[in-house]
A and B are shown apart, each in its own frame.
Chain A
Amino acid sequence: MTCQQLRWYFDQLNHDVHELPAEAMRHVSHCASCRGLADKRKEVLASLRLLRESAPTMTASLDAAVLASYRQRMAIPQLISTGSRWKRPGIWRLAAAAAVAVVILAAAALVRRTASSGKSHAQQPPATEIARTSVPESPKAAQPGEHSNRRNVAKATPRRPNDPDAYSLRVTPPIRQDDSQGFRSLMYCDELSCEGGMDVVRVELPALPAGFLPAPNMPIRSVSADVLVGADGFARGIRIVH
C-alpha cells in the first residue's frame, strides 16, 4: 500500500486506525509521515470518543414538560386553529387580492371624479366673464335657459334686439361695506353674506319687465339698477338706481 492509498482511506472512510486493514497497518508501521498522520487521527478520535461517552442524559423533567405541553396544546384545538389561520398562504393571497381590488376601485373613482370636476370647471367661466357675457350686446347671449349659471343674469337683461345700445353695463370694483346699502336680496343667499367677492353690475332695464308700470300716456322708459353678482355668477341682490 502506498501513502496515497492510505490517505484515501482516511479521506473516504471515517474509520479508526485500528480498523484499517492489515496491509495499511503494515504501511503505517514503516512510513514515518503516515504514522504521524495516523497518530494524529487516533488522538482526535480518542478525544471525540471520550466526549461521546461523557454525554449527559436528559432529565426526566424534560419529558414531563414536553408531554404536558402536548396535552395543553391538544386541549385547546380551537386556539391553535385561530392562531394559525393567518399563517395559511391562501388567506394571505385572498387578502392581498382584496386589497388590490380596493386600490383599483379607489383609483378608478378618483380618476372619474377628477375628470368630471375638470369638465365642470372648464364649462364655468369666472364671474366677471359671466357678467360680461350677459351684456346684451348680442341677443343670443341673453337667451334664457342657455346655462343654469347664467339664468339670473339673463333674466335681468332686457330683450331689445332692435336697439342693442339702449342698455349699458359696467363692472365696478368689489363692493365695500358702505356701498352695500339699499340692495334687496334676490336669492336664497341671505343679505350679502355669501362667501367670495362680488361684482356690482350696472344694468338698464325696461320699466315694464322690471315691474314699474308707467303712465299710459308716457313712453316706455328704462330703469337703471345695480346688480350684485356673486363669484359663482348668480345674481345676489339688486338696487334700483334710477
Chain B
Amino acid sequence: MDSYETWSDAELLKAALAGEEDAFVFLYEKLKGGIFRYAFYMTNSLGAAEEVTQDVFMTLLRDGKNYRKGRGDVAGFAFGIARNLVRRLRRREYVYHPLPDDDAIHRLAASLVTEPEALQRNLIRNETLENVRMTIRSLPVRYAQVIVLCDLCEFSYAEAASRLECAVGTVRSRLNRAHALLAKKLRPFNSAKAGMQAAGTEGCVI
C-alpha cells in the first residue's frame, strides 16, 4: 500500500473502479475523516454521519466514472456528494439520536460515586457542547459550512474554498460573519454558564 502514497486521488479512484481493492482502501482512509466530521457536525448525529459517509463512497463507486479531472479534485467531488446527502438529510430532518447504552449509564453512576466534582464539570461541558452544536445548526447553511470546514474539520481556506466551489475570499468573509453570528447567539448561554460556575455545587438548589 506504500506505493499508493505517490498516486493522485484521481489515479486511486480509477484503480478502485477497476477493482483494485487496496487502492480503494487507501482512498477511503484518506477521505473518510473529513467527510465523516463534516456530516457529523452538520447533522449532530453519529448514525446519520456514518450513513452519509458510507453513501458517499457507494455513490463514488457508482458515479465515479463521471468524474472529470478538470472540474476539481476527487476530494471535492466526494465532498460534493456528501454535501448533497447532508442537505437531503437536513431537509427530511432524518436524524436519529441514539439512546445511551448500559455501559454509559454504569460509567455515569460510577463517576457520581468516585468523583462528584467531575459531575458538575461534565454537565457544564456537555451542555456547552450541545449549545454550540445547536447554535451552529441554527445558522444559515453557508455559514455553518465554513465553520464546520475551517474550524472543526481544520481545512485551510483554500481547501474549504475548493470543497464549497467558491473563492477563498468568500470563505474568509463568510467565516468572519459566521463567527460574529455565533458569538451573538452563544452570548446568553455563556453568561448562564458563568453564573453556574460561580455558584458551584453549593448553589444547586435541588
Q: A residues bordering B, Cβ < 8 Å?
A: 10-12, 14, 40-41, 43-45, 47-48, 50-52, 54-56, 58-59, 62-63, 65-67, 69-71, 73-74, 77, 80, 84
Contact = CB atoms under 8 A, between A and B. Distances in A.
A44 B182 contact: yes
Contacts of B21: 67, 70-71, 74
Main secondary structure on A side of the interface with B: helix
Interface stretch (B3-11, B68-76, B124-132, B196-204): B124-132
Nearest to A83: B62
B117 interface: no
Contact of B186 (A44, A74, A84): A44
A66 B54 CA distance: 6
Contact of B61 (A14, A51, A63, A73): A73
26 contacts: A10-B176, A40-B183, A41-B179, A44-B182, A47-B132, A48-B132, A50-B125, A51-B41, A51-B132, A51-B133, A51-B152, A55-B40, A56-B40, A58-B36, A58-B53, A59-B50, A62-B53, A63-B32, A65-B54, A66-B57, A66-B58, A67-B28, A70-B16, A70-B57, A70-B61, A77-B19
B143 interface: no
Interface of B: 16, 19, 21, 24-25, 28, 32-33, 36-37, 40-41, 46, 49-50, 53-54, 57-58, 61-62, 65, 125, 128-129, 132-133, 136, 147, 150-152, 154, 157, 172-173, 175-176, 179, 182-183, 186, 190
A238 B84 CA distance: 85
B132 A84 contact: no
Nearest to A65: B54
A67 B40 CA distance: 21
A48 B152 contact: yes
A14 B155 CA distance: 12
A65 B37 CA distance: 18
Nearest to B146: A14
Q: In the complex, which of the residues B62, B175, B183, B186 has the most CB atoms of chain A within 10 Å of its own CB atom?
A: B183
A54 B129 contact: yes
Given A63-B32, A67-B28, 8 more contacts: A14-B150, A48-B132, A55-B40, A58-B33, A62-B53, A62-B54, A66-B58, A69-B57
A84 B128 contact: no
A14 B57 CA distance: 31
A165 B62 CA distance: 92
A45 to B, nearest CB: 8
Q: In the complex, which of the residues A44, A50, A63, A70 has the most CB atoms of chain B within 10 Å of its own CB atom?
A: A44
A63 B50 CA distance: 10
B65 to A, nearest CB: 7
Contacts of A71: 21
B144 to A, nearest CB: 12
